[in-house]
Structure 1
Amino acid sequence: MSRAILLTVLIAGLIVFSSSSAAFGAQLDARINPNNAESPFKMNYQKTFFIEYPNGGQLFDELHQKTWTISGTADSSNPGVQHLIEKLNQNIADDGSQARISDLNVIYDIHLKGRNLNTSIDYKIIIEGTLTDYVITKDQVRTLIDLGWRGLSTNEKIVIDGVDINHPINLIQEEEPTLYNVLKGTEGEQIFNKKMIDADFILKQPLTNWHFLFDPTGINVDAGTFGLSEDISGFVVSSWTMGESSLREGRQVERVFEAEVTADQRYVFRSVQSSDQGNLYAIGFGALDVLDGVEIAGVTPKPPEGYATTSTGEFPIFIVYGMAAMAAIGGGAFFMFSNRALKNQQEGQQGIAPDRLVGYQTSSSSGGYQTNRGEAQLRDESDYTQTRSVYEESAPQETTTPPPTDASREEAACGCAASAEMGSECDCEMQGSCLCDATCGCAADVCKEHVSSMQ
């Protein structure tokens, strides 16, 4: 029963999870080529807000049937995008990095959907651009690249085509004044006033905690058969990823902020944002380091001699060999314990010795059929009470008929139809008839009458 309940809960959880859309936080995707002066990057910011009105009220009347979408794109020619580039570069410099953003495209999409119990507002902002000045120094052996620029955030008001894409509360004030009047001056207003362009956590998570892999496909002899780009031909590709719950990064959970506001009715305002994620790639084999408080990577065309691990440091190889050694030790201990326990057991025949048992037949013939069933008993019955069959106590007692005497045999010879060989007695009086001859000496009246009639 408990297994059925557990299975039902798991299936229900999968259905709910698969039917709900995730609200991702900041997602970084960048590919750095130390041989080029510029490299592309992409940052995705996403968050979902909920306005709940379980008891109806003014917001229910205003929002439950409403749906609208505000979206648009803009490039570096837009004044709002130029302002965003300026503020992002200022934030990068404040973090100690020398890298700069030279070009940027912005895509924004804001969607409101009203329902009977709540209204959701989905915010999505995507910025795609070009990163420059990330090479610190370069020689014939390796190239040092700057990785301290990845916290692309700003608190400033970013207005593109008349829409402040960075602070949702400003859009609420313009598009939904009734909702804004309920939020104004409350904790709910603080939830909607948090910045959207926020990647601070991606910078705060040290790169040494990110998962590191490198792909040596580019240095294979037959690498050309894989259709690889010329940028990675002859090189390995290093990658650092973050966003998974692990011993390195810790437990990653979604960020939820909630506030309850009482106006004409009780309303609940909540924002949901999943944990941040990052994918950072570099052409070459990257070894992490820190320079003046800024995280950097020393990149070489090929990995160091003898480097065979595929994760941060030599952690996986250590774990693999360590687990193998622990398994060997555990197996040896198990066999030693089993062998010792076996030696402590008694050897030889256990229970009653076979030479003390004797068999006897327990079935008799039935017509022409004879079975071969039997039982075993002790030769000496000193301990028979301990081993006797429990069926003997309930078995009915058999009665034996004493062998017939000579007188009875004579009476039986002139008695009833049953013969003396069958061991039956003459019962003429009860049967009312008798098969007798003239010599019968039976005292029964019916036999006397029958004998006299025969004479």
Structure 2
Amino acid sequence: MSRAVILTVLLASLIVVGTSSPAWAAQLDARINPNNDSSPFKMSYLKTVFLEYSNGGELFDALRDKEWVVSGTADSSDPGVVQLIKKLNQGIKADGSQARISDMTVTYNFHLNARNINTSIDYRVILEGTLTDYVITKDSQRTLVDLGWRGLSADGEIIVDGIDINLPLNILREKEPTAFAIIDTPEAEDVLKKPLINADFILAQPLTNWHFLFDPTGINVDAGTFGLDKEISGFVVSSWTMGESSLREGRQVERVFEAEINADQKYVVRSVQSSDQGNLYTIGFGALDVLDGVEIVGVTPKPPEGYATTSTGDFPIMIVYGMAGIAAIAGIAFFFVSSRSLKNEKVGQQGIDPSRLVGYQTSASSGGYQTNRGEAQLKDDTSYQKTRSVYENTAPQETVTPPPTDANREEAACGCAASAEMGSECDCAMQGSCLCDATCQCTADLCKEQAHSMS
């Protein structure tokens, strides 16, 4: 039973992880053309709220098998969109920026999905609009562009198509009144009343901490993203991005707000948002500055003379070249030292002088032929006695003296006599038979027995 419970919990956890949608908080994407009076921008706001009931209870019963989606699109003809544009412009002005939003379209999507141990509600609102009045000054040398407008945030209710798109609390109260009544506590309200349309962190992160890149080769491919044609070929494009964990931006983590509710069971309300992300692009080379407390960028058609940078910001290209030069010098030094080491090595014959060696023949005749094999030995053994192997067997070897043969022996009567000339007198015994008669004088036992039997 315990094993079944553990497997059930693991399976439920995998289902929750596999079906949960990621929450990416606020995402900014804007492409500024300083030569135009207006430029497009896009801002996305995402948040996920979890209602957790691991022990079941009335909240589980109220949300059992529930799933619904509320979505829609509205433009500036909707009073709610006009209200949102007004609130955003008020926030931009409060931040010290002179830029304004002139037009905007709102797309929203809210998705509730109930599961066995929790219910998730994904909130998504996307703003796509037109930004104006971002050029501060412009002359033949450079253009000052206002970037202090990027913290697009709005508080309170924003009613679009009769639906509050800003406070997660209200749509849950409207669509699921029974479930909301169970968790309607000050702690849960504090989590659910945090506005969805909030990009304060994007503004709070200084642009000097953003990741900077510029493309000096022209933007043929990217021309369409600015609404321009190929005539802008050859212009520089600068970009600033944020949202990664780094030494510049610090460690980026999820923003989680949580509250526990004690009703018939213990419930948890959790709001999850990932770190904000931002992408700013401008035509021309951008140099950051601050004007009256507002971050701005000075844009020129081309980078200053002699300026070079990498993706990490103001990192001089000469340092990169210097490091490459040091590596080249180290390589040359390595080959130089190696060459001198080779020259210092001994060249020619090493070991024993060949003039001190003498050859000895080691082969002997066998039958009707003789092999040509031999070995080299020292003429004198002075050095050999000093360096000979300690494992060499120094025991005296026994000298085998062949038995004398009878010159008057009848070779035809003794089969061993034929091999006597080759130093193998007992060849007949080695073959396991004897060809000897009574006149044979061979000392082999086999021959003696044969000779005795014939006498």
Bucket of the pairwise TM-score, normalised by the shorter protein? 0.7 to 0.9
The answer for the alignment partner of 1:402 in structure 2 is 401
SS state at 1:174 partner: helix
Hey, what's the Cα distance between the residues in 1 that align with 2:98 and 2:136?
8
Map Cα deviations across residues 124-175 of structure 1 (whole Å, 9 max, x no partner). Answer: 1101122222222333443322211110012222122332221212222332
CA contact (8 A) 1:378 1:384 kept: no
Kept in 2: contact 1:358–1:379 (CA 8 A): no
For 2:401, give the aligned amino acid. P
Q: Secondary structure at the match of 2:25?
A: coil
1:8 equivalent in structure 2:
none
Shift of 1:122: 1.8
Q: Does the 8 Å contact 2:359/2:374 carry over to 1?
A: no
Deviates more, 1:29-38 or 1:370-379: 370-379
Task: Give 1:59 shift.
Answer: 4.1
Query: In the superposition, relative to structure 1, how do residues 162 and 399 fare at CA in structure 2: closer, same or farther (>3 Å)?
Result: farther
C-alpha distance 385-236 of structure 1, shift in aligned 2 (>3 A): closer
The Cα shift of 1:123 comes to: 1.5
Name the SS of the counterpart of 2:150 in structure 1.
Answer: coil
- Written as runs of structure 1 = structure 2, the 5 A alignment for 1:40-79 is 40-63=40-63, 65-79=65-79
**Correspondence for 1:180:** 180
Contact 1:412–1:426, Cα closer than 8 Å, also in 2 = no
Q: Give matches, 1:215-230, under 5 Å.
A: 215=215, 229=229
CA–CA separation in structure 2 for the residues paired with 1:95 and 1:288: 18
- Please give the secondary structure, in 2, of the residue aligned with 1:36: coil
Match of 2:168 in 1: 168
Alignment-mate amino acid for residue 204 of structure 2: K
3-state secondary structure, aligned to 2:23: coil
State the distance in 1 between where 2:29 and 2:17 align. 25
User: Given that residues 236 and 302 in structure 1 are in contact (C-alpha distance below 8 angstroms), is that contact kept between their aligned partners in structure 2?
Assistant: yes
Q: What residue in structure 2 maps to residue 3 of structure 1?
A: none
**1:423 is matched with which residue: 410, 416, 425?**
425
Match of 1:7 in 2: none
Structure 1 residue 362 displacement after superposition: 7.7
| Distance in 2 separating the partners of 1:365 and 1:264 | 112
Q: Distance in 2 between matches of 1:150 and 1:386?
A: 88
How far does residue 405 in structure 1 lie from its aligned partner after superposition?
1.8
Give 3-state SS (helix, strand or coil) of 1:156's partner.
coil
Determine the structure 2 residue equivalent to 1:380: 381
Partner-residue secondary structure (3-state), 1:92: helix
Aligned partner of 2:290 in structure 1 is 290
Matched, 1:447 2:451: yes
Does the Cα contact within 8 Å between 1:415 and 1:426 map onto a contact in 2? no
1:177-216 superposed matches below 5 A: 177=177, 179-181=179-181, 183-185=183-185, 189-215=189-215
Identity of aligned residues (%): 60
CA, structure 1 residues 232+241, in 2 after alignment: closer, same or farther (shift >3 Å)? farther
**In structure 2, how many angstroms separate the alpha carbons of the residues matched to 1:235 and 1:17?**
46
Structure 1 residue 216, shift from structure 2 partner? 5.0
| TM-aligned CA distance change 1:448 to 1:279, over 3 Å | closer
1:63–1:119 contact (8 Å) kept in structure 2: yes
CA distance in 2 between partners of 1:73 and 1:423 (Å): 119
**Using the alignment, how far apart are the partners of 2:453 and 2:372 within structure 1?**
49
> What corresponds to 2:86 in structure 1?
86
Name the aligned partner's letter for residue 454 of structure 2.
Answer: H
C-alpha distance 58-380 of structure 1, shift in aligned 2 (>3 A): farther
User: What TM-score does the superposition give when structure 2 sets the normalisation length?
Assistant: 0.73
Q: Is the 8 A contact 1:412 1:419 kept in 2?
A: yes
Tell me, yes or no, if the aligned pair for 1:103 and 1:129 is still in contact at 8 Å. yes
> Which whole-Å CA distance do the structure 2 matches of 1:72 and 1:284 have between them?
37
Q: Aligned with 1:170: secondary structure?
A: helix
Q: Give 2:130's aligned residue.
A: 130
The one-character-per-residue Cα deviations of 1:246-304 (angstroms, maximum 9, x if unpaired) are 44334434434455656555555444333222222333433322111011223334444
Which one-letter code corresponds to 1:143 in the other structure? T
Tell me the CA shift for residue 90 of structure 1: 1.3
8 Å CA contact 1:44, 1:124 repeated in 2: yes
**CA distance in structure 1 between the aligned counterparts of 2:234 and 2:52, rounded to whole angstroms:** 56
Alignment check: 8 A CA contact 1:417 1:435 kept = yes
How many residue pairs match? The answer is 425
Of stretches 25-34 and 322-331 in structure 1, the one that deviates more from structure 2 is 322-331
Q: 1:380 to 1:446 in 2, by over 3 A?
A: closer
Cα distance, 1:440 vs structure 2:
5.7
Question: What is residue 436 of structure 1 aligned with on the other side?
Answer: 437
List alignment gaps of at least 5 residues for structure 1. 1-15
Tell me, yes or no, if the aligned pair for 2:157 and 2:166 is still in contact at 8 Å: yes
Structure 1 residues 285 and 441: CA distance shift in structure 2, 3 A? closer
Q: Counterpart of 2:106 in 1: which secondary structure?
A: strand
1:70 Cα shift? 0.9
Q: Which deviates more, 110-119 or 18-27?
A: 18-27
Deviations 1:48-94 (A, max 9, x none): 33344445444444446322111111122222222211211111111
> What TM-score, normalized to structure 1?
0.73
Structure 2 unpaired stretches of 5+: 1-15
Whole-angstrom distance in 1 between the partners of 2:29 and 2:246: 20
- The residue identity in structure 2 corresponding to 1:424 is C
Report 1:16-55 matches (<5 A): 22-55=22-55
Partners of 2:254 and 2:281 in 1: CA distance: 25
Q: Is the 8 A contact 1:253 1:274 kept in 2?
A: yes
CA distance in 2, matches of 1:261, 1:358: 105
Q: Which amino acid aligns with 1:195?
A: P
Judged with a 3 Å threshold, the aligned counterparts in structure 2 of structure 1 residues 397 and 46 are, in CA distance, closer, same or farther, namely farther
- In structure 2, do the counterparts of structure 1 residues 425 and 310 end up closer, same or farther at CA, with 3 Å as the change threshold? closer
